[in-house]
Amino acid sequence: MTDLILEVLSWMSILGGLFFMIVGTIGIVRMPDVYTRLHAAGMTDTMGAGLLLLGMCFQAGLTLVLVRLILIYAFLLFTSPISTHALASAALSGGVEPYTVPADRAGEFNSLNGGQNS
């Protein structure tokens, strides 16, 4: 019974991790700017990798493999925000302007700003 529950949990988290991976990669291809692409890549790093490694943890059980999986996740958890921050600051100092609303579509967002101001 416990084995069945663990199996179902691990497959659910592995499938969720794969979903987040695919969504993040589609976001990397489809987003308009470096900074918005960083958002999609962060989604891949945290949710995708976290859920996949969680599913593998459920499969592993209480062994030394679990320690290694937790180590991998700890390394990813430390290194992915650092590299994302370094990438964003390097892009900013390298002269890439952030993407803003194009001038011909600015009217669609005026109502939001007016609602906040009044």
- Contact footprint for other proteins (CB under 8 A): 21, 24-26, 28-29, 34, 37-38, 41, 44-45, 48-49, 52-53, 56, 59-60, 64-65, 68-69, 71-72, 75-76, 79-80, 82-83, 86-87, 90-91, 93-96, 102
- By beta-carbon proximity to other proteins, the closer residue of 65 and 116 is 65
- By beta-carbon proximity to other proteins, the closer residue of 104 and 108 is 104
Distance CA 87, CA 40 (A): 14
DSSP state of 62: S
Residue 44: closest CA among 76, 11, 12, 9: 76
